[in-house]
Chain A
Amino acid sequence: MGFQRYLNRESRDRDLAEEIQSHLAHEVDANLARGLSEAEARRRARLRFGNPRTVRERVWIYRSLPMMDGIFRDLRDAWRSLRKTKGLTIVALLVIALGIGVNTAVFSVVNTVLLQPLPYPDPQSLMRLVLFTPQRTLDGASVPEFNLWRQQTSVLRDVAGYDTGGAGLNLTGGDHPMQVQGVHVTHDYFGLFGAPVIAGRTFTEEEDSPHGGNVVVLSYALWKQRFGGDTNLVGRTIQIDNTPYLVVGIIGADFVSDNPADLWIPYQFDLNTMDLARYFRVAARLQTGVTMEQANAQLKLASDQFRREMPTAIRPQNHYGVIPLKEAMIGDTRTPLLVLLTAVGLVLLIACANVANLLLAKASGRQREFATRAALGAGRWQIIRQLLAESLLLSLSGGLLGLLLGYASVRLLLNVNAGGLPRVGENGMALALDLRVLLFTLGVSVFTGILFGLVPAISASRTNLVASLNESSSRTGSGSRSVNFRSVLVITEIALALVLVIGSTLLVRTYLKLQGVDPGFDTHNTLTMAMSISGGRFQASAPVDQIIRQGTERIKAIPGVIEAAAGNGLPLQGAFGMPFDIVGRSNGNAPTTGGAGYYSVSANYFESLKVPLLRGRTFTDRDNASAPGVIVINEAMAKQYWPQGDPLRDRIQKAPGFGGPFAEPSRQIVGIVGNTRDNGLDHNPFPTMYIPLAQMPDGETALNSRVAPLWWVVRTNGDPHAVAAQVTTALREATGGLPVAHIRTMDEIDSLTVSRQRFNMLLLTVFGASGLLLAAAGIYGLMAFSVEQRTQELGIRMAMGAQTSHLRNMVLRQGMILTIIGVAAGIAASFWLTRFLASFLFGVEKWDPLAFLLTPLLLSVVALAATWIPAVRATRVDPMTALRFE
């Protein structure tokens, strides 16, 4: 057996021919020996043997793979046929490349974000610890909760806490301080994620306890960049915020940390604390053999027990549990990505319909070719096979082109705007062109090739032999069936394109609405920047207040600056949450009156941002540590908690029952300010409290300083970037050399908050436009074809005295009938499909009248324009040429 039977067919055939000659010679010899004449001997030998060619053919065929042979021949023929119609081939190729390109692009994102496993050992068992509430799932954790989860050793192991964002830290001790991303972690963090240690070790449990000393683990990148890859660095100390830290280890380059980090510092939690602030995340591994359900059941039991010990920690309807870490990281990006994938699927379908149309047009000009082939004995299957080979050759080449196009464009796109996608790395660097993407593209290519090739192939193979051969002209012989087929395809294209365009119109309207949302303050001419204050000297409120006073004073001296302030957060970026009580009001069954976002801010914070003051007063320099405690609330809080009464008469107890670093007396409400959209422009403002930074409990300031930077706000009377360098210098001088990072204008932050919507809108608009263009090309192609086909008929009509306007309208009417059917189908489909877009819409109904009226109109106009050219051409038909048209 073996494969060798297929090899060297030609040389073995020559061998066989010689062998046959030898056989015949022997036969002649034998015949001569029997006394026959020379001529008779040869004649008989040949007669006896039969046709040597037949024998050779039998062996030849036995040595061939009939399938493969056929495929090679078909591909060769396909190549010839495609080259013969270069223009059509190139157009088809581009259409397919576009269709497959957008699919490859979106799928490569889906693959990286949704499909690829997390880059850690045994990723399925990695879980995020969460609090399930009836409304949503929260992933913040407090130290007592962390401690509780750590004790659930029957279901969890390697329970590790880490910063949500990561505090900026200042690497000092060099020529210039440098702000780096430092992430606080508990000592189990590295084991949990299987981080490779290339030098030294990670933190011990002792080092991760209170007073465990200053130790640090460095990332590979920081070690290389800042310390030149010094192999003796482990065991030495480096300066962080002017404090010596012992370098205990270095992590390998290929470790992708959940939060991007330059270095890691132990949290050093006091596990006995009653501090219930949730400010970090916790992940863990399921114990071997434990399912997620078992872990959740156990954690629910633990929640009930915990509630008995700390009644304020967790409401009766809430309980702890786990969700897969991957799910937690993907978050709410799944649906938008699937919507985009559907959209590109539609683009691909339109592209397929388009190419099928082109091939049908081509095939109808080839009726005689197929009829001739059929007459020569080609079976129906052989003709289908050859046409499929053509379409597959087209789709595979288009797929290759699309792969390159798609990959390049998605990299470009993510580089410009990553749209807040998780897991794609910085500027989409993590996007990989892996086997799955390649297989996807291959699969889509083959699928497309069969999809757009099958209809023309089947229709061509149905050729009526006699009729086709008898046709006097190749132009009139394509019959009405092919036109019907093509009409259906064009209607489909229009309907699909309309769905896409309606979808993108809805997203564009959403985006415009978001742009029109008042963020609640003046984003123009506002510069912001972050300053890490994690150093030892900022573990109390007074020194923080001190640098703010000094800093704002210096900044205000810069020409062009109107006002300056600082706080522990900025509008639009989300705030810490904090429960509160209204003093003297009953809470009913609830542990507290409610919860609100809260900021600690300096004097002039509202003035710098131009947040309007509605009642009372804002903070001044006099609201210092020795002054009576005051608090400002926003309008949403006033409306929700004082529907009738007057908030300015009441006092607020922040963090009731928290104790520890949060313990403080109640505060008088002194002012009500306007709402800012801190949870994104598309969410209603939520209740928010503002507290003078100078009046913060020291312990809370210390905690804030460790996990979040101090944000500076500078209002200018011109381009904010113009003063950025001077502000940076002023702050460095005022703070004894602290650097700043994330220098951005408020307009830039505003634009970042809608980056995801912009991302979705941009993509869907591109897809919608592609669909529209393809559909227009489709209807143009069909009408042009139909006019050309009817040249004779048109010529006769004209010769009989038909008005040119009448002829034009006839073609226009035909095109518009197709358009109207397509539009009707598209509207019906959109009515049903836009529900899936509902969660992305803001300020726009899913059946937005504008989108559902204007878009079909737009599409009809485009279709009319596409029909116009062939229609006008119909009127230019010269009767004489038309009648001679062969």
Chain B
Amino acid sequence: MARNKTQDAGEILQGTLDLLILRTLILGPAHGHTIARSIESTSENALEVEQGSLYPALHRLEDRGLVASEWGVSDNNRRAKFYRLTAKGRKELAAATGRWRRMTRAIGLILGESNG
């Protein structure tokens, strides 16, 4: 009973996970666990990263050349794979952020929110 995903809207909107990962990585290289935690804590736990989607998403981003990965050692002194943003990734992040802003604004207008 701890969480009820369907009602909490904690599930991340389809297609936005990539954007969130890229945004998180702008602070510096991180491994998968950190990325998930960071997304959750930054969103004040409003969003929950489904672990099963995180790694496919990371690999997809890597194949698209938006992030690069490297094995390293984490703060906990454990082996972990660190992802960092590539130049191409930075460009994509800027573009995706713009797209996102335009869309949320448009949706907001339709839903009748005063632009605040």
Contact = CB atoms under 8 A, between A and B. Distances in A.
Interface of A: 1-2, 4-5, 12, 15-16, 18-20, 22-23, 25-27, 29-30, 48-51, 54-55, 58-59, 62-63
Given A18-B81, A20-B55, A23-B55, 17 more contacts: A1-B63, A16-B55, A16-B59, A19-B55, A19-B81, A22-B32, A22-B33, A22-B78, A23-B80, A26-B33, A26-B34, A29-B76, A30-B37, A49-B51, A50-B51, A58-B56, A59-B55
A516 B59 CA distance: 83
Contact of B55 (A2, A26, A29, A55): A55
A12 B76 CA distance: 24
Interface of B: 31-34, 37, 50-52, 55-56, 59-60, 63-65, 74, 76, 78-81
Contact of B59 (A27, A30, A59): A59
A113 B37 CA distance: 75
8 contacts: A4-B63, A15-B81, A16-B59, A19-B80, A22-B78, A26-B33, A54-B52, A62-B56
Nearest to B81: A19
Given A19-B32, A22-B78, A27-B33, A62 B51 contact: no
Ranked 6 nearest A-B pairs via Cβ = A26-B33, A49-B51, A22-B80, A5-B63, A19-B81, A58-B56
B81 A22 contact: yes
Contacts of B32: 19, 22-23
Contacts of A25: 76, 78
Given A19-B32, A20-B55, A58-B52, A1 B80 contact: no
A25 B31 CA distance: 12
A15 B55 CA distance: 11
Contacts, number: 67
A688 B34 CA distance: 106
Contacts of B34: 26
Contacts of A22: 31-33, 74, 78-81
A18 B63 CA distance: 18
Query: Which of B55, B64, B78, B80 has the most chain A CB within a 10 Å cutoff?
Result: B55
A63 B63 CA distance: 10
Contacts of B78: 22, 25-26, 29
A59 B56 contact: yes
A228 to B, nearest CB: 66
A46 to B, nearest CB: 10
A8 to B, nearest CB: 12
Contacts of B56: 55, 58-59, 62
A15 to B, nearest CB: 8
B60 A62 contact: yes
Contacts of B50: 50
A48 B55 CA distance: 14
Given A55-B56, A62-B56, A62-B59, A26 B31 contact: yes
Contacts of B65: 1-2
Contacts of A54: 52
A55 B31 contact: no
Contacts of A2: 63, 65
B52 A55 contact: yes
Contacts of A19: 32, 55, 80-81
Contacts of A58: 52, 56
A48 B33 CA distance: 12
Nearest to A27: B33
A435 B22 CA distance: 51
Nearest to A6: B63
A658 B100 CA distance: 96
Contacts of B80: 19, 22-23, 26
A307 B13 CA distance: 91
Contacts of B63: 1-2, 4-5
A390 B52 CA distance: 38
Contacts of B52: 49-51, 54-55, 58
A596 B51 CA distance: 99
Nearest to A49: B51
Given A29-B76, A29-B78, A23 B51 contact: yes
A29 B33 CA distance: 11
Contacts of A27: 33
Nearest to B59: A59
A51 B55 CA distance: 12
B91 to A, nearest CB: 15
A31 to B, nearest CB: 12
Nearest to A16: B55
Contacts of A63: 59
Nearest to B80: A22
A547 B76 CA distance: 116
Query: Which of B33, B74, B76, B79 has the most chain A CB within a 10 Å cutoff?
Result: B33
A63 B65 CA distance: 15
Contacts of B55: 16, 19-20, 23, 55, 59
Contacts of A49: 51-52
A1 B64 CA distance: 4
B76 A26 contact: yes
A853 to B, nearest CB: 73
Nearest to A56: B55
Query: Which of B31, B37, B52, B65 has the most chain A CB within a 10 Å cutoff?
Result: B52
Nearest to B32: A23
Contacts of B59: 12, 16, 59, 62-63
Nearest to A50: B52
Contacts of A23: 31-33, 51, 55, 80
Contacts of A1: 63-65
Nearest to A21: B79
Contacts of A30: 33, 37
Nearest to A58: B56
Nearest to B34: A26
Contacts of B74: 22, 26
Contacts of B60: 62
B116 to A, nearest CB: 36
Contacts of B64: 1
A12 B59 CA distance: 10
A62 B74 CA distance: 28
A62 B62 CA distance: 13
A55 B76 CA distance: 24
Contacts of B79: 18, 22
B83 to A, nearest CB: 10
Nearest to B33: A26
Contacts of B76: 25-26, 29
Contacts of A4: 63
A63 B62 CA distance: 12
A2 B64 CA distance: 8
Contacts of B31: 22-23, 26
Query: Which of A2, A18, A19, A54 has the most chain B CB within a 10 Å cutoff?
Result: A19
A1 to B, nearest CB: 6
Query: Which of A51, A55, A63 has the most chain B CB within a 10 Å cutoff?
Result: A55
A20 B52 CA distance: 10
Nearest to A61: B56
Contacts of B81: 15, 18-19, 22
Nearest to A22: B80
Contacts of A20: 55
A1 B59 CA distance: 11
Contacts of A55: 51-52, 55-56
Contacts of A29: 76, 78
A235 B31 CA distance: 86
A23 B80 CA distance: 8
Contacts of A48: 51
A50 B65 CA distance: 27
B89 to A, nearest CB: 14
A26 B30 CA distance: 13
B7 to A, nearest CB: 19
Nearest to B50: A50
B36 to A, nearest CB: 8
Nearest to B51: A49
A495 to B, nearest CB: 57
A4 to B, nearest CB: 7
